[in-house]
Structure 1
Amino acid sequence: MSSTVEYDNQVVTRGDLKYQGKAKQVYLTNNSEILWVHYMDQATALNGKVHEDIPEKGRLNSAISHILFQYLTRHGIENHYLTAISETDELDLALDIIPIEVVTRNYASGHFVSKFDATSMQKLNPIVQEFYYKSDALDDPFMNDSQILALGYATEIELEKLRNYAQKVNQLLKSLFDEIKINLIDFKLEFGKNALGELILADELSPDNMRLVDQKTGKSLDKDVFRQHSGDVTIGYRDVLSRLENLEK
Protein backbone atom coordinates (compact mmCIF):
# COMPACT_ATOMS: atom_id res chain seq x y z
CA MET A 1 0.00 0.00 0.00
CA SER A 2 0.98 3.67 -0.21
CA SER A 3 3.36 5.00 2.44
CA THR A 4 1.34 8.23 2.65
CA VAL A 5 -2.25 8.67 3.84
CA GLU A 6 -4.51 11.51 4.86
CA TYR A 7 -5.73 11.66 8.45
CA ASP A 8 -7.51 14.47 10.29
CA ASN A 9 -6.80 16.98 7.50
CA GLN A 10 -3.08 16.22 7.43
CA VAL A 11 -0.76 14.08 5.37
CA VAL A 12 0.84 11.25 7.34
CA THR A 13 3.92 9.60 5.85
CA ARG A 14 5.36 6.31 7.07
CA GLY A 15 8.96 6.63 8.18
CA ASP A 16 11.61 4.35 9.68
CA LEU A 17 10.76 1.11 11.47
CA LYS A 18 10.67 1.86 15.19
CA TYR A 19 10.47 -1.76 16.28
CA GLN A 20 9.09 -5.13 15.26
CA GLY A 21 7.10 -7.15 17.74
CA LYS A 22 5.81 -10.71 17.60
CA ALA A 23 3.03 -9.92 15.15
CA LYS A 24 3.25 -6.21 14.35
CA GLN A 25 5.66 -3.71 12.85
CA VAL A 26 5.59 -0.18 14.24
CA TYR A 27 6.83 2.72 12.13
CA LEU A 28 7.54 6.34 12.93
CA THR A 29 5.78 8.97 10.84
CA ASN A 30 6.36 12.59 9.92
CA ASN A 31 4.16 13.45 12.93
CA SER A 32 5.90 12.61 16.22
CA GLU A 33 2.54 12.02 17.89
CA ILE A 34 1.42 9.35 15.41
CA LEU A 35 2.69 5.81 14.78
CA TRP A 36 2.00 3.64 11.71
CA VAL A 37 1.27 0.04 12.73
CA HIS A 38 1.29 -2.95 10.38
CA TYR A 39 -0.19 -6.33 11.42
CA MET A 40 1.89 -9.21 10.09
CA ASP A 41 0.77 -12.66 8.96
CA GLN A 42 2.67 -14.30 11.79
CA ALA A 43 1.88 -16.23 14.95
CA THR A 44 4.27 -16.81 17.83
CA ALA A 45 4.36 -18.82 21.05
CA LEU A 46 6.70 -19.07 24.02
CA ASN A 47 7.54 -15.36 23.78
CA GLY A 48 8.61 -15.57 20.17
CA LYS A 49 10.66 -18.77 20.44
CA VAL A 50 8.15 -20.49 18.14
CA HIS A 51 6.80 -18.63 15.14
CA GLU A 52 5.02 -19.43 11.92
CA ASP A 53 3.79 -17.47 8.92
CA ILE A 54 -0.01 -17.67 8.70
CA PRO A 55 -1.70 -16.08 5.67
CA GLU A 56 -4.59 -13.71 6.45
CA LYS A 57 -3.85 -13.53 10.19
CA GLY A 58 -2.72 -9.89 10.00
CA ARG A 59 -5.95 -8.81 8.33
CA LEU A 60 -8.08 -10.70 10.84
CA ASN A 61 -6.28 -9.31 13.88
CA SER A 62 -6.39 -5.79 12.48
CA ALA A 63 -10.12 -5.98 11.77
CA ILE A 64 -11.00 -7.43 15.18
CA SER A 65 -8.83 -4.91 16.99
CA HIS A 66 -10.43 -2.10 14.97
CA ILE A 67 -13.94 -3.13 16.05
CA LEU A 68 -13.01 -3.61 19.71
CA PHE A 69 -11.12 -0.33 20.07
CA GLN A 70 -13.98 1.57 18.45
CA TYR A 71 -16.42 -0.15 20.81
CA LEU A 72 -14.35 0.86 23.84
CA THR A 73 -14.02 4.41 22.53
CA ARG A 74 -17.81 4.69 22.24
CA HIS A 75 -18.04 3.65 25.88
CA GLY A 76 -15.57 6.22 27.17
CA ILE A 77 -12.37 4.14 27.33
CA GLU A 78 -9.49 6.33 26.16
CA ASN A 79 -7.01 4.45 23.99
CA HIS A 80 -4.26 4.94 21.41
CA TYR A 81 -6.27 3.80 18.36
CA LEU A 82 -6.80 6.51 15.75
CA THR A 83 -7.96 4.95 12.49
CA ALA A 84 -7.60 2.04 10.07
CA ILE A 85 -5.79 2.93 6.83
CA SER A 86 -5.87 -0.47 5.13
CA GLU A 87 -6.85 -4.06 5.88
CA THR A 88 -3.62 -4.58 7.82
CA ASP A 89 -2.47 -1.08 8.83
CA GLU A 90 -3.61 1.55 11.30
CA LEU A 91 -2.53 4.83 12.84
CA ASP A 92 -2.05 4.97 16.61
CA LEU A 93 -1.23 7.68 19.09
CA ALA A 94 2.45 7.54 20.06
CA LEU A 95 2.79 6.69 23.76
CA ASP A 96 5.57 6.00 26.22
CA ILE A 97 4.76 2.35 26.92
CA ILE A 98 5.13 1.22 30.51
CA PRO A 99 6.73 -2.24 30.94
CA ILE A 100 3.77 -3.78 32.77
CA GLU A 101 1.26 -6.22 31.35
CA VAL A 102 -2.11 -6.31 33.12
CA VAL A 103 -3.80 -9.70 32.93
CA THR A 104 -7.46 -10.18 33.84
CA ARG A 105 -8.82 -13.68 34.40
CA ASN A 106 -12.53 -14.47 34.43
CA TYR A 107 -11.99 -18.23 34.20
CA ALA A 108 -9.06 -20.49 35.10
CA SER A 109 -6.98 -21.34 32.04
CA GLY A 110 -3.42 -21.56 30.77
CA HIS A 111 -0.60 -21.56 33.28
CA PHE A 112 -3.00 -20.37 36.01
CA VAL A 113 -4.40 -23.92 36.02
CA SER A 114 -1.03 -25.68 36.30
CA LYS A 115 0.42 -23.14 38.73
CA PHE A 116 -2.41 -23.39 41.26
CA ASP A 117 -3.83 -26.85 40.45
CA ALA A 118 -7.08 -25.15 39.54
CA THR A 119 -9.92 -26.75 37.62
CA SER A 120 -9.70 -25.74 33.98
CA MET A 121 -12.38 -23.23 33.00
CA GLN A 122 -13.69 -22.81 36.52
CA LYS A 123 -15.28 -19.39 36.95
CA LEU A 124 -13.18 -17.13 39.14
CA ASN A 125 -14.96 -15.06 41.76
CA PRO A 126 -13.70 -12.46 42.27
CA ILE A 127 -11.97 -12.03 38.95
CA VAL A 128 -8.19 -12.30 39.14
CA GLN A 129 -5.91 -9.41 38.14
CA GLU A 130 -2.18 -9.95 37.72
CA PHE A 131 0.82 -7.83 36.75
CA TYR A 132 3.73 -9.08 34.64
CA TYR A 133 7.00 -7.43 33.68
CA LYS A 134 7.02 -6.94 29.91
CA SER A 135 10.23 -8.69 28.85
CA ASP A 136 10.48 -11.49 26.29
CA ALA A 137 14.07 -12.17 27.39
CA LEU A 138 12.86 -12.90 30.93
CA ASP A 139 9.65 -14.65 29.83
CA ASP A 140 7.43 -11.89 31.26
CA PRO A 141 7.81 -12.68 34.99
CA PHE A 142 5.02 -12.05 37.48
CA MET A 143 5.33 -8.85 39.52
CA ASN A 144 3.63 -7.82 42.74
CA ASP A 145 2.85 -4.27 43.79
CA SER A 146 5.94 -3.76 45.91
CA GLN A 147 8.24 -4.95 43.12
CA ILE A 148 6.65 -2.54 40.65
CA LEU A 149 6.86 0.34 43.12
CA ALA A 150 10.47 -0.44 44.12
CA LEU A 151 11.61 -0.52 40.49
CA GLY A 152 9.76 2.70 39.68
CA TYR A 153 7.60 1.30 36.88
CA ALA A 154 4.42 2.80 38.37
CA THR A 155 3.20 4.69 41.41
CA GLU A 156 0.54 3.49 43.85
CA ILE A 157 -1.96 5.82 42.21
CA GLU A 158 -1.05 4.50 38.76
CA LEU A 159 -1.40 0.88 39.89
CA GLU A 160 -4.89 1.63 41.14
CA LYS A 161 -5.69 3.31 37.82
CA LEU A 162 -4.43 0.25 35.93
CA ARG A 163 -6.65 -2.03 38.01
CA ASN A 164 -9.71 0.16 37.52
CA TYR A 165 -8.97 0.58 33.82
CA ALA A 166 -8.69 -3.18 33.30
CA GLN A 167 -11.84 -3.82 35.29
CA LYS A 168 -13.87 -1.39 33.15
CA VAL A 169 -12.48 -2.90 29.94
CA ASN A 170 -13.31 -6.37 31.24
CA GLN A 171 -16.91 -5.44 31.99
CA LEU A 172 -17.38 -3.95 28.54
CA LEU A 173 -15.69 -6.75 26.60
CA LYS A 174 -17.45 -9.49 28.58
CA SER A 175 -20.79 -7.87 27.78
CA LEU A 176 -19.94 -7.56 24.09
CA PHE A 177 -18.67 -11.12 23.71
CA ASP A 178 -21.63 -12.49 25.64
CA GLU A 179 -23.89 -10.97 22.98
CA ILE A 180 -22.15 -13.09 20.35
CA LYS A 181 -22.15 -16.23 22.54
CA ILE A 182 -18.45 -16.20 23.37
CA ASN A 183 -16.90 -16.41 26.84
CA LEU A 184 -14.03 -14.02 27.53
CA ILE A 185 -11.73 -16.30 29.52
CA ASP A 186 -8.81 -13.96 30.11
CA PHE A 187 -6.88 -11.21 28.37
CA LYS A 188 -3.78 -9.04 28.54
CA LEU A 189 -3.67 -5.26 28.35
CA GLU A 190 -0.77 -2.89 27.85
CA PHE A 191 -0.69 0.81 28.62
CA GLY A 192 1.37 3.87 27.83
CA LYS A 193 1.56 7.51 28.84
CA ASN A 194 0.71 10.41 26.58
CA ALA A 195 2.49 13.76 26.51
CA LEU A 196 0.57 14.83 29.63
CA GLY A 197 1.62 11.70 31.55
CA GLU A 198 -1.86 10.21 31.44
CA LEU A 199 -2.30 6.43 31.24
CA ILE A 200 -3.82 5.31 27.94
CA LEU A 201 -4.79 1.84 26.72
CA ALA A 202 -2.39 0.63 23.99
CA ASP A 203 -1.27 -2.42 21.96
CA GLU A 204 -4.04 -4.48 20.31
CA LEU A 205 -7.29 -6.25 21.18
CA SER A 206 -7.48 -9.54 19.33
CA PRO A 207 -7.48 -13.33 19.83
CA ASP A 208 -3.69 -13.01 20.04
CA ASN A 209 -3.89 -11.51 23.52
CA MET A 210 -7.14 -12.92 24.87
CA ARG A 211 -8.71 -16.32 25.30
CA LEU A 212 -12.12 -16.72 23.72
CA VAL A 213 -14.28 -19.84 23.95
CA ASP A 214 -17.52 -20.60 22.13
CA GLN A 215 -20.29 -20.85 24.73
CA LYS A 216 -22.04 -23.72 22.98
CA THR A 217 -19.19 -25.96 21.81
CA GLY A 218 -16.39 -25.01 24.23
CA LYS A 219 -14.00 -24.63 21.31
CA SER A 220 -11.10 -22.20 21.50
CA LEU A 221 -11.35 -19.25 19.11
CA ASP A 222 -7.95 -17.77 19.94
CA LYS A 223 -4.21 -18.34 19.72
CA ASP A 224 -4.38 -21.40 21.99
CA VAL A 225 -5.19 -23.31 18.80
CA PHE A 226 -1.73 -22.38 17.51
CA ARG A 227 -0.01 -22.95 20.87
CA GLN A 228 -1.52 -26.42 21.16
CA HIS A 229 -1.17 -27.33 17.45
CA SER A 230 -4.87 -28.26 17.42
CA GLY A 231 -5.87 -26.91 14.02
CA ASP A 232 -6.04 -23.86 11.77
CA VAL A 233 -5.91 -20.83 14.05
CA THR A 234 -7.52 -18.55 11.45
CA ILE A 235 -10.79 -20.50 11.58
CA GLY A 236 -11.51 -19.21 15.07
CA TYR A 237 -10.33 -15.70 14.22
CA ARG A 238 -12.67 -15.59 11.20
CA ASP A 239 -15.53 -16.78 13.38
CA VAL A 240 -14.89 -14.06 15.97
CA LEU A 241 -14.68 -11.37 13.29
CA SER A 242 -17.84 -12.58 11.55
CA ARG A 243 -19.85 -12.49 14.77
CA LEU A 244 -18.59 -9.01 15.66
CA GLU A 245 -19.36 -7.71 12.17
CA ASN A 246 -22.86 -9.19 12.23
CA LEU A 247 -23.50 -7.59 15.62
CA GLU A 248 -22.63 -4.17 14.19
CA LYS A 249 -25.10 -4.48 11.29
Structure 2
Amino acid sequence: MARRKKIYEGKAKILYEGPEPGTLVQYFKDDATAFNAQKKDVVDGKGVLNNRLSEFFMTGLNNIGVPTHFIRRLNMREQLVRSCEIIPLEVVVRNFAAGSLSTRLGIEEGTPLPRPIVEYCYKDDKLGDPLVTEEHIAAFGWASQQDMDDILSLALRVNDFLSGVMMAVGIKLVDFKIEIGRVYEGDFQRLVVADEISPDSCRLWDIETGQKLDKDVFRRDLGNLTDAYTEVARRLGVMPKSAQPMSKPTLIN
Protein backbone atom coordinates (compact mmCIF):
# COMPACT_ATOMS: atom_id res chain seq x y z
CA MET A 1 0.00 0.00 0.00
CA ALA A 2 1.34 3.43 -0.92
CA ARG A 3 2.22 5.63 2.01
CA ARG A 4 -0.45 8.25 2.55
CA LYS A 5 0.16 11.89 3.30
CA LYS A 6 -0.86 12.82 6.84
CA ILE A 7 -2.64 16.17 6.95
CA TYR A 8 -3.37 16.46 10.66
CA GLU A 9 -3.31 14.39 13.83
CA GLY A 10 -5.49 15.16 16.83
CA LYS A 11 -6.14 13.44 20.13
CA ALA A 12 -8.61 10.89 18.73
CA LYS A 13 -8.27 11.00 14.94
CA ILE A 14 -5.82 11.34 12.05
CA LEU A 15 -6.65 13.02 8.74
CA TYR A 16 -4.96 11.78 5.57
CA GLU A 17 -5.06 13.12 2.04
CA GLY A 18 -8.09 11.67 0.27
CA PRO A 19 -8.20 9.68 -2.97
CA GLU A 20 -10.03 12.47 -4.83
CA PRO A 21 -9.62 16.27 -4.82
CA GLY A 22 -11.53 17.90 -2.00
CA THR A 23 -11.63 14.74 0.14
CA LEU A 24 -9.86 13.47 3.25
CA VAL A 25 -9.64 10.09 4.96
CA GLN A 26 -10.52 10.34 8.65
CA TYR A 27 -8.94 7.60 10.80
CA PHE A 28 -10.31 6.90 14.28
CA LYS A 29 -7.69 6.05 16.91
CA ASP A 30 -8.13 4.04 20.11
CA ASP A 31 -6.59 6.84 22.19
CA ALA A 32 -8.75 8.18 25.02
CA THR A 33 -8.01 11.56 26.61
CA ALA A 34 -9.67 13.70 29.26
CA PHE A 35 -9.05 16.98 31.08
CA ASN A 36 -7.33 18.51 28.04
CA ALA A 37 -5.17 15.37 27.55
CA GLN A 38 -3.90 15.35 31.15
CA LYS A 39 -5.40 11.86 31.44
CA LYS A 40 -4.57 9.45 28.61
CA ASP A 41 -4.99 5.79 27.77
CA VAL A 42 -5.46 3.45 24.84
CA VAL A 43 -8.85 1.71 24.80
CA ASP A 44 -8.97 -1.26 22.44
CA GLY A 45 -11.84 -0.99 19.96
CA LYS A 46 -12.86 2.60 20.76
CA GLY A 47 -11.90 3.87 17.32
CA VAL A 48 -13.89 1.14 15.57
CA LEU A 49 -17.00 1.92 17.62
CA ASN A 50 -16.70 5.68 17.14
CA ASN A 51 -16.25 5.24 13.39
CA ARG A 52 -19.45 3.19 13.13
CA LEU A 53 -21.44 5.44 15.47
CA SER A 54 -20.32 8.64 13.76
CA GLU A 55 -21.26 7.09 10.41
CA PHE A 56 -24.72 6.32 11.82
CA PHE A 57 -25.33 9.85 13.11
CA MET A 58 -23.83 11.69 10.13
CA THR A 59 -25.80 9.56 7.66
CA GLY A 60 -28.98 10.28 9.60
CA LEU A 61 -28.30 14.02 9.51
CA ASN A 62 -27.56 13.94 5.78
CA ASN A 63 -30.83 12.08 5.23
CA ILE A 64 -32.91 14.79 6.95
CA GLY A 65 -31.16 17.63 5.11
CA VAL A 66 -28.59 18.68 7.70
CA PRO A 67 -25.34 18.93 5.69
CA THR A 68 -22.24 17.15 7.02
CA HIS A 69 -18.74 16.45 5.75
CA PHE A 70 -19.38 12.69 5.79
CA ILE A 71 -19.33 10.85 2.44
CA ARG A 72 -19.00 7.15 3.31
CA ARG A 73 -17.29 4.69 5.63
CA LEU A 74 -14.25 3.02 4.05
CA ASN A 75 -13.43 0.30 6.58
CA MET A 76 -13.54 -0.43 10.29
CA ARG A 77 -11.54 2.64 11.28
CA GLU A 78 -11.74 5.06 8.37
CA GLN A 79 -14.29 7.19 6.58
CA LEU A 80 -14.15 9.41 3.54
CA VAL A 81 -15.08 13.02 4.29
CA ARG A 82 -15.19 16.32 2.45
CA SER A 83 -12.27 18.62 3.04
CA CYS A 84 -13.48 21.76 4.77
CA GLU A 85 -12.17 24.82 6.57
CA ILE A 86 -12.91 24.27 10.24
CA ILE A 87 -14.27 27.28 12.11
CA PRO A 88 -12.13 27.46 15.29
CA LEU A 89 -15.06 26.88 17.64
CA GLU A 90 -16.51 23.99 19.58
CA VAL A 91 -20.28 24.36 19.54
CA VAL A 92 -21.76 22.90 22.74
CA VAL A 93 -25.48 22.20 23.12
CA ARG A 94 -26.77 21.44 26.63
CA ASN A 95 -30.15 19.96 27.56
CA PHE A 96 -29.33 19.08 31.18
CA ALA A 97 -26.78 20.54 33.60
CA ALA A 98 -23.55 18.53 33.68
CA GLY A 99 -19.79 18.90 33.58
CA SER A 100 -18.40 22.41 33.43
CA LEU A 101 -21.86 24.04 33.43
CA SER A 102 -22.65 22.50 36.81
CA THR A 103 -19.25 23.57 38.12
CA ARG A 104 -19.46 27.13 36.78
CA LEU A 105 -23.02 27.90 37.82
CA GLY A 106 -23.47 25.63 40.82
CA ILE A 107 -26.38 23.76 39.25
CA GLU A 108 -26.86 20.17 40.36
CA GLU A 109 -25.81 17.69 37.69
CA GLY A 110 -28.79 16.25 35.86
CA THR A 111 -31.03 19.30 36.34
CA PRO A 112 -33.17 19.82 33.20
CA LEU A 113 -32.48 23.18 31.56
CA PRO A 114 -35.44 25.44 30.67
CA ARG A 115 -34.40 25.24 27.01
CA PRO A 116 -31.36 24.00 25.09
CA ILE A 117 -28.38 26.24 25.82
CA VAL A 118 -25.80 26.74 23.07
CA GLU A 119 -22.28 27.71 24.12
CA TYR A 120 -19.13 28.37 22.11
CA CYS A 121 -15.54 27.50 23.02
CA TYR A 122 -12.44 28.70 21.19
CA LYS A 123 -10.56 25.68 19.87
CA ASP A 124 -7.09 25.92 21.39
CA ASP A 125 -5.76 23.04 23.49
CA LYS A 126 -3.00 25.19 24.99
CA LEU A 127 -5.65 27.55 26.39
CA GLY A 128 -7.98 24.76 27.46
CA ASP A 129 -10.67 25.60 24.84
CA PRO A 130 -12.00 28.66 26.73
CA LEU A 131 -15.66 29.67 26.68
CA VAL A 132 -16.26 32.67 24.37
CA THR A 133 -19.23 34.85 23.46
CA GLU A 134 -20.57 35.92 20.07
CA GLU A 135 -18.89 39.28 20.75
CA HIS A 136 -15.48 37.58 20.85
CA ILE A 137 -16.30 35.58 17.71
CA ALA A 138 -17.29 38.73 15.77
CA ALA A 139 -14.43 40.87 17.11
CA PHE A 140 -11.74 38.36 16.15
CA GLY A 141 -13.32 37.45 12.82
CA TRP A 142 -13.73 33.74 13.51
CA ALA A 143 -17.21 33.79 11.97
CA SER A 144 -19.60 36.35 10.51
CA GLN A 145 -23.03 37.14 11.93
CA GLN A 146 -24.61 35.14 9.11
CA ASP A 147 -22.30 32.24 9.97
CA MET A 148 -23.38 32.43 13.61
CA ASP A 149 -27.06 32.41 12.67
CA ASP A 150 -26.44 29.34 10.50
CA ILE A 151 -24.33 27.63 13.19
CA LEU A 152 -27.06 28.14 15.79
CA SER A 153 -29.66 26.71 13.41
CA LEU A 154 -27.48 23.70 12.60
CA ALA A 155 -26.71 23.05 16.28
CA LEU A 156 -30.40 23.05 17.27
CA ARG A 157 -31.36 20.81 14.34
CA VAL A 158 -28.63 18.34 15.34
CA ASN A 159 -29.95 18.50 18.91
CA ASP A 160 -33.51 17.72 17.79
CA PHE A 161 -32.31 14.76 15.72
CA LEU A 162 -29.97 13.28 18.32
CA SER A 163 -32.44 13.78 21.18
CA GLY A 164 -35.14 11.88 19.31
CA VAL A 165 -32.86 9.06 18.20
CA MET A 166 -31.49 8.60 21.70
CA MET A 167 -34.82 8.83 23.50
CA ALA A 168 -36.17 6.06 21.25
CA VAL A 169 -33.55 3.67 22.63
CA GLY A 170 -33.82 4.72 26.28
CA ILE A 171 -30.89 7.16 26.35
CA LYS A 172 -30.96 10.76 27.58
CA LEU A 173 -28.94 13.25 25.49
CA VAL A 174 -27.47 15.42 28.23
CA ASP A 175 -25.20 17.52 26.03
CA PHE A 176 -22.91 17.29 23.02
CA LYS A 177 -20.36 19.26 21.06
CA ILE A 178 -19.88 19.57 17.31
CA GLU A 179 -17.53 21.36 14.98
CA ILE A 180 -18.60 23.28 11.91
CA GLY A 181 -16.67 23.55 8.66
CA ARG A 182 -16.90 25.72 5.56
CA VAL A 183 -17.14 23.92 2.22
CA TYR A 184 -16.43 26.00 -0.88
CA GLU A 185 -18.11 25.23 -4.20
CA GLY A 186 -16.82 27.85 -6.62
CA ASP A 187 -17.80 31.23 -5.18
CA PHE A 188 -20.44 29.62 -2.99
CA GLN A 189 -19.79 28.73 0.65
CA ARG A 190 -21.90 26.53 2.90
CA LEU A 191 -21.52 25.34 6.46
CA VAL A 192 -21.50 21.63 7.33
CA VAL A 193 -21.30 19.57 10.50
CA ALA A 194 -17.74 18.23 10.62
CA ASP A 195 -15.37 16.20 12.83
CA GLU A 196 -17.41 13.42 14.51
CA ILE A 197 -20.52 12.68 16.54
CA SER A 198 -19.89 9.84 18.97
CA PRO A 199 -19.94 9.03 22.71
CA ASP A 200 -16.58 10.86 22.79
CA SER A 201 -18.41 14.10 22.02
CA CYS A 202 -21.77 13.52 23.77
CA ARG A 203 -22.98 12.92 27.31
CA LEU A 204 -25.36 9.97 27.19
CA TRP A 205 -27.22 8.64 30.25
CA ASP A 206 -29.56 5.68 30.52
CA ILE A 207 -33.02 7.17 31.06
CA GLU A 208 -34.04 4.63 33.72
CA THR A 209 -30.84 4.12 35.72
CA GLY A 210 -28.76 7.23 34.96
CA GLN A 211 -25.84 4.98 33.95
CA LYS A 212 -23.27 6.94 31.97
CA LEU A 213 -22.63 5.63 28.45
CA ASP A 214 -20.07 8.20 27.29
CA LYS A 215 -16.52 9.40 27.90
CA ASP A 216 -17.36 10.29 31.51
CA VAL A 217 -16.87 6.56 32.15
CA PHE A 218 -13.18 7.18 31.38
CA ARG A 219 -13.00 10.65 32.96
CA ARG A 220 -14.43 9.42 36.27
CA ASP A 221 -13.16 5.82 36.31
CA LEU A 222 -16.68 4.39 36.23
CA GLY A 223 -15.91 1.16 34.41
CA ASN A 224 -14.99 -0.12 30.96
CA LEU A 225 -15.29 2.51 28.22
CA THR A 226 -15.61 -0.02 25.40
CA ASP A 227 -18.51 -1.72 27.19
CA ALA A 228 -20.33 1.62 27.47
CA TYR A 229 -19.84 2.52 23.79
CA THR A 230 -20.79 -1.02 22.74
CA GLU A 231 -24.07 -0.67 24.65
CA VAL A 232 -24.89 2.54 22.75
CA ALA A 233 -24.07 0.83 19.44
CA ARG A 234 -26.23 -2.19 20.35
CA ARG A 235 -29.25 -0.07 21.23
CA LEU A 236 -28.99 1.92 18.00
CA GLY A 237 -28.71 -1.24 15.92
CA VAL A 238 -25.21 -0.34 14.75
CA MET A 239 -24.01 -3.66 16.17
CA PRO A 240 -25.91 -6.96 16.51
CA LYS A 241 -27.71 -7.41 19.86
CA SER A 242 -25.54 -10.47 20.53
CA ALA A 243 -22.26 -8.68 19.81
CA GLN A 244 -19.53 -8.82 22.42
CA PRO A 245 -17.46 -5.77 23.43
CA MET A 246 -14.78 -5.14 20.81
CA SER A 247 -11.18 -5.87 21.72
CA LYS A 248 -8.15 -5.60 19.46
CA PRO A 249 -10.14 -5.69 16.21
CA THR A 250 -8.59 -6.94 13.00
CA LEU A 251 -8.45 -4.11 10.50
CA ILE A 252 -9.98 -4.61 7.08
CA ASN A 253 -8.76 -2.34 4.32
The TM-score, its normalising length taken from structure 1, stands at 0.92
* Partner amino acid, structure 2, of 1:184: L
- After superposition, the C-alpha distances for 1:132-157 in whole angstroms (9 at most, x for unaligned) are 10111110001101110000001111
**Could you list the runs of 5+ residues in structure 1 that have no partner in the other structure?**
4-13
* Partner amino acid, structure 2, of 1:26: L
What's 1:177 paired with?
166
Equivalent residues in 2 for 1:92-171, closer than 5 Å: 92-171=81-160
What's 1:10 paired with?
none
Q: Given the superposition, is the C-alpha separation of residues 248 and 150 from structure 1 closer, same or farther in structure 2, using an over 3 Å criterion?
A: farther
**Secondary structure in structure 2 of the residue aligned to 1:186:** strand
Q: Which has the higher contact order (CA 8 A, sep 6+)?
A: 2
- Cα RMSD, aligned residues only: 1.6
* Partner amino acid, structure 1, of 2:30: D
Distance 1:180 1:29 in 2: 35
**Secondary structure in structure 1 of the residue aligned to 2:65:** coil
Equivalent residues in 2 for 1:50-65, closer than 5 Å: 50-65=39-54
What's 1:69 paired with?
58
Distance 2:169 2:86 in 1: 32
1:234 to 226, 232, 251: 226
For the 8 Å contact 1:180–1:247, the answer to whether it is kept is no
* Partner amino acid, structure 2, of 1:89: E
Matched residues, percent identical? 34
- In the TM superposition, what is the alpha-carbon distance from 1:246 to its structure 2 partner? 6.6
**Secondary structure in structure 1 of the residue aligned to 2:213:** coil
- After superposition, the C-alpha distances for 1:198-236 in whole angstroms (9 at most, x for unaligned) are 111100010000000001110000000100111111111
- After superposition, the C-alpha distances for 1:62-116 in whole angstroms (9 at most, x for unaligned) are 1111111111111111100000110111100000111011100000000110110
**Secondary structure in structure 1 of the residue aligned to 2:5:** strand
Size of the aligned set, in residue pairs, is 238
The TM-score, its normalising length taken from structure 2, stands at 0.91
1:224 to 188, 203, 216: 216
Q: Given the superposition, is the C-alpha separation of residues 150 and 88 from structure 1 closer, same or farther in structure 2, using an over 3 Å criterion?
A: same
What's 1:203 paired with?
195
**Secondary structure in structure 2 of the residue aligned to 1:194:** strand
What's 2:237 paired with?
245
- In the TM superposition, what is the alpha-carbon distance from 1:49 to its structure 2 partner? 2.5
What's 2:249 paired with?
none
